[in-house]
Amino acid sequence: MIDKLTTIESKIQQLKQKKERIQNQQALFLMKEAQKILKEEFSLETALNILRDSWAASSKAQRTEWTTRANSFPISAPKTHKKAKKHNPTPEQIGKAEIPVHDHH
């Protein structure tokens, strides 16, 4: 019985850590998207002020529209892949490597 409780506690801790990692990834994604929009004007304070002021000045209809469109924002964190074993790529492999392109618009 104690082994089962220990296993459950361990799983709870793992899930809490996973939740924290996902929240951190989402926060980082949000910050990067704000940087893309604000470009050289970006600062965390500016982004927060824009968000706060826009929300406060918006109508109930606008807020409803925003919350309805919230599904377009990634809910889950980007997929994390287990770290592959490190290897030294050959020059041919380096030349053939493709750079993924992500379009968030």
pTM higher than 0.75, yes or no? no
- Number of domains present in the structure of the chain: 1
53: in domain: yes
83: in domain: no
58: in domain: yes
Position 49 pLDDT exceeds 50: yes
Q: What share of the chain is helix, strand, coil (3-state, %, to 5)?
A: 70, 0, 30
For residue 92, name the pLDDT band (cuts at 50, 70, 90). low
Which domain range does residue 37 map to?
2-71
Compute the distance between CA of residue 45 and CA of residue 94 in angstroms, rounded to an integer: 40
Nearest CA to 66 out of 75, 78, 74, 54 is that of 54
38: in domain: yes
96: in domain: no
